[in-house]
Structure 1
């Protein structure tokens, strides 16, 4: 799980081409120069009476002074400032040498697991792509012709700017990596930016145009080509980043010195591997200023704590709501702050809300299986909710991988005639992994073998930092390079941000569970193919006849909307499919009060996602009310509000519980 996509450019694809040229407003300036200062514009203006004075307007907020240009910064230096700069750069380099030496010694120690030079098979995928391109000379010729045309256009535009001056107001910023004004106003940086964007697009297009590659090889080649071109951006290097250079000179090298201190701290935190700090991890405390919805722990076993939240309405829907979040992250993405808490909002709509909080497993749970998570997770929680409320059925929600688990349980229950779950809602969840997106790069045989060795090396679980690195790589510009520049070049410390605090609070993955999930779901797509047996029962989702609500997000890079739609087609009962704006997190966590994004609805479920979208109606704002209308209709009559401890389950502690507080090492 990753932070929301808030309109920023996605990491995979550089902005296409060069920025558009605004019109140059030279005529107005010329006309202004022809009139002497202080002279009336016309004879009529000279003799007319002055207008009545208008009421004084409130003074506008002063705008911050624009940053000095690099030439101005360099020109302002004195011998004393240059001496300080040299000294601080030398200290920063000494710090870097010490950090790298320590990291090298850590990784030079012998390890029991074999070392993988190319754990994800990048080399073979790229070699296969180039071997196909050799046999397609027309494709290569056309790609180079297009590149040289772009270069010619860039050169022509920049030559014009040198002769006539840059466009008034600068050029529009399309890529936030190049938001510093110097990228537009300084001819050298502007040329560097545009040449990079054109070259990056050339390499990305080259992969897309390669014919004859199978889907897996093309996906892998495209993914790692995007990683390479993202890494090569001039914004990612100290000497070609104007903001970093300006800070270096203006602070006399203190920015780089502080950046190396941040770098050393992150390497130490990662045990020799770089664990990038994305937010102030000391700013939040669970239950105090994050995950604060009032509730109690009413059930606990070795796998979950079950939280029941306090009602805020006099009556509630008869059928309670049980939520299974993903175990890759922690449940409080649903309860960050009161203003964006889905849990708090659902309670305010009259739902009795229960949430399963997964344990953060250690080596003792290395052999915990997917079936254990079914038995001691979903089925145990369902029984506990019914005991706590005294009813005989429950509505359920599965988010991301929690939804995959829930779907498997529904298939099992359909075989058994178990009707305790009367409906299921899926947030950004896949049961069919054919179109699962970039994460499939990390789920082929080569990658699974590497992960198996890494898990064994760490005592039977996949360390949390490995999960963080994987998800960060999916949006490298936002979640890796952005922080390298800000933390290490500019020397800043990340500010507090609740969402990034949650994103950094990763959990460990038990060996048996994680390898089964990657192999049987991502690699083999066994459940969608009706080739999966769990707890002795063949899983056939077509036998699941209960009402289903499927939510997907338009910009989701983890569970793409087309993949979620294929999953919706697997079930045998009525399915309501909804598409939300934004991505994997912001598309789900979008409270109505925010008035953000939009969503699409279509009561029909045609064969393909494209057909569904063509017939869908776009509506503004959050999709939550649409879902709540659907949910309320199947949640029975009103009943007196239920409080934790009212039923057969005693209160064991306060929300958010104890399991959620167990942090991983990094």
Structure 2
């Protein structure tokens, strides 16, 4: 979001993030008794960074805007606009103070006496011309001062958290769009034109036309041929050992002489494809698990179309049960552990509650939930941006079409972080005419999938009613869902810089589920907290000996551990995975091998 910087690794969530407002919102500081605008947040360069990738996978609440289109958010609901106006009208002295400050600051800028400067990490204005050229310098300062004043006016309106988020989202997106760095005056454009003899301008126009004629209508974050699935990504050896209309089941080939007796079934999100867990070698979660002696199975969801419009939560819950049955046939183990990511975690938690109600939870040895929100109470910006009218329109649109298009979702995700995921690529791809850098996570993000209309509706209904927090308020396969009956041990992970699934919301999963929980808080954000290999020297995570009711209490007693949580999880899971047994020589067990990994569904378009 505009004027909302990505939280960096190792930072703690700001108070505004905890009370429902966006973390990192531009704030004013006092210097020598004078109010002075805060500096702008950092925007990434064309080089991919973990922060630039954090919006590539999101909380399912963005499904509302995915159906309606993200640009609707540039115009907040009328009642929110009215509340904002009333809040300011009630404080004419404060509004006058802000106006006088801005006029004075613009005057100082005009005569060259302003102290306003961008944050040294703000790469939008990193080129020396922004400070060396008097005209560019003044335009940059005017933008920063105006943006800061606008943000303070939102603070002054003292809105309820949902109206605050809606206005802040709209206002800051507009301010960011108007940044002088996004216009032809950007010195990077002219340097590229001179260096290439004008070829950069031609390439930039071609890229813009290619990107903007079809969804997602945002600058490409990665070239379509940067990677090849099955050659560069999703290359951990294995085989498809089961296929249904809804999913393929991949069994990965052991690489150790001994394996743990109890296998692990991984349930990926229903947004995008499974290989977020099997990226390039050295960055693959699956590869690490297999090398640690774990028997690993992966669900690869089919990309639904209009024929599958009625696939809802129960369809996917049944698929998880079918996968468990297939894992048992392949290994001979009646028990299995589960690890689920994001929306896959919602489905998995409800399926476990169904098993508990059926008296069959003993099939599950342990469960893990990564960046999964089960309690949507004040879950952040995304939850705030939903309103009844938007929900009705969104579900009706997907119902008529039969699915929610993945390209629309990708567009929504980009506009949640426009400085990082729209405007930085706008400058790189169009103004400079350069190709975006190859980054595996962003390639995965661009490999979009559809979501069936029924699942789209079911997820939104769950979130609006916050149904998983009330026993019996939701059902799975006809069974009332009571998450407290899921009394298996659980391993819950979150990212402290995750702006889509706030870590406090993920933490509340430990309170909803029965059994003992171990909560891990990574120093990264939504995606980087998952793709967090032990080879990353900057990674740390926090862990505490217990999970009290309050996330703040947990944080106060947590200790920081250097490294990735992957080995910690393997050690935790190993204690719950039975004895070690000889690794199977062939895959599939009693099942027929249907083909090599990564299967066929992953290539569905």
Say which of 124, 135, 156 aligns to 1:188. Answer: 135
Q: Please point out which of 491, 495, 514 is paired with 1:553.
A: 495
Q: Aligned residue for 1:592?
A: 534
Instruction: Go from structure 1 to structure 2 and tell me whether the alpha carbon gap of 1:144 and 1:563 turns closer, same or farther (over 3 Å shift).
Output: farther
Aligned residues: 553
CA pair 275-456 structure 1, distance change in 2 beyond 3 A: farther
Give the SS at the match of 2:337. strand
Q: Which moved more, 1:641-650 or 1:224-233?
A: 641-650
Q: Is the 8 A contact 2:303 2:450 kept in 1?
A: yes
Backbone CA RMSD of aligned residues? 3.0
Q: How does 1:529-544 map to 2 (within 5 A)?
A: 529-530=470-471, 531-544=473-486
Q: Does 1:499 align with 2:441?
A: yes
Match status 1:227 vs 2:169: no
**CA 1:116/1:548 → structure 2, altered by over 3 Å: closer, same or farther?**
closer
Question: How much has 1:242 moved relative to structure 2?
Answer: 1.6
Aligned counterpart in structure 2 of residue 412 of structure 1, from 341, 350, 354: 354
1:586 is paired with a residue whose SS is: coil
Q: TM-score, normalised by structure 1?
A: 0.77
Tell me if 1:122 matches 2:76: yes
Report the alpha carbon displacement of residue 597 of structure 1 after superposing the two structures with TM: 2.4
- The answer to whether the aligner puts 1:318 opposite 2:273 as a matched pair is no
| 3-state SS, counterpart of residue 305 of structure 1 | strand
Which residue in the other structure is 2:564 paired with?
622
The answer on 1:328 being equivalent to 2:271 is yes
Matches of 1:127 and 1:438, distance apart in 2: 20
Mapped partners of 1:14, 1:464: distance in 2: 29
Q: Secondary structure at the match of 1:639?
A: strand
Mapping 1:128-527, distance limit 5 Å:
128-144=83-99, 147=102, 158-159=112-113, 173-211=120-158, 213-239=159-185, 241-270=186-215, 274-375=217-318, 377-418=319-360, 419-441=362-384, 443-456=386-399, 459-520=401-462, 522-527=463-468
Deviations 1:43-98 (A, max 9, x none): xxxxxxxxxxxxxxxxxxxxxxxxxxxxxxxxxxxxxxxxxxxxxxxxxxxxxxxx
1:630-649, aligned counterparts within 5 Å?
630-649=572-591
Q: Deviations over 1:113-167 (max 9, x none)?
A: 99999578614122321122211334424544665676577678x4399xxxx9x
Structure-1 separation of matches of 2:327 and 2:68: 46
Greater mean alpha carbon deviation, residues 560-569 or residues 133-142: 133-142
- Asked if the contact 2:235–2:280 (Cα under 8 Å) also holds between the matched residues in 1, the reply is yes
**CA 1:288–1:114: 2 relative to 1, 3 Å:** closer
| Equivalent residue runs for 1:64-83 within 5 Å | none
SS in structure 1 opposite 2:545? coil
In 2, are the aligned partners of 1:119 and 1:447 still within 8 Å (CA)?
no
Give the match's secondary structure for 1:238.
coil
User: Is the CA contact (8 Å cut-off) linking 1:299 and 1:384 kept in structure 2?
Assistant: yes
Q: Higher relative contact order at CA 8 Å, sep ≥6: structure 1 or structure 2?
A: 2
Give 3-state SS (helix, strand or coil) of 1:605's partner: coil
* Structure 1 unpaired stretches of 5+: 21-112
**Cα 1:620–1:146 shift into 2, 3 Å:** farther
Deviation for aligned residue 1:557 = 1.2
Over 3 Å counting, the alpha-carbon distance change for 1:216 and 1:6 in structure 2 is closer
Please, what TM-score do these two structures have when normalized by structure 2? 0.85
8 Å Cα contact 2:507-2:551 kept in structure 1: yes
Q: Which moved more, 1:132-141 or 1:522-531?
A: 132-141
**Structure 1 CA distance, aligned partners of 2:559 and 2:107?**
43
How far 1:222 moved relative to its partner?
1.7
Deviation at 1:442, TM superposition (A): 5.1
- Point out the structure with max Rg over C-alpha: 1
**Whole-angstrom distance in 1 between the partners of 2:6 and 2:279:** 17
Q: Distance in 1 between matches of 2:73 and 2:99?
A: 32
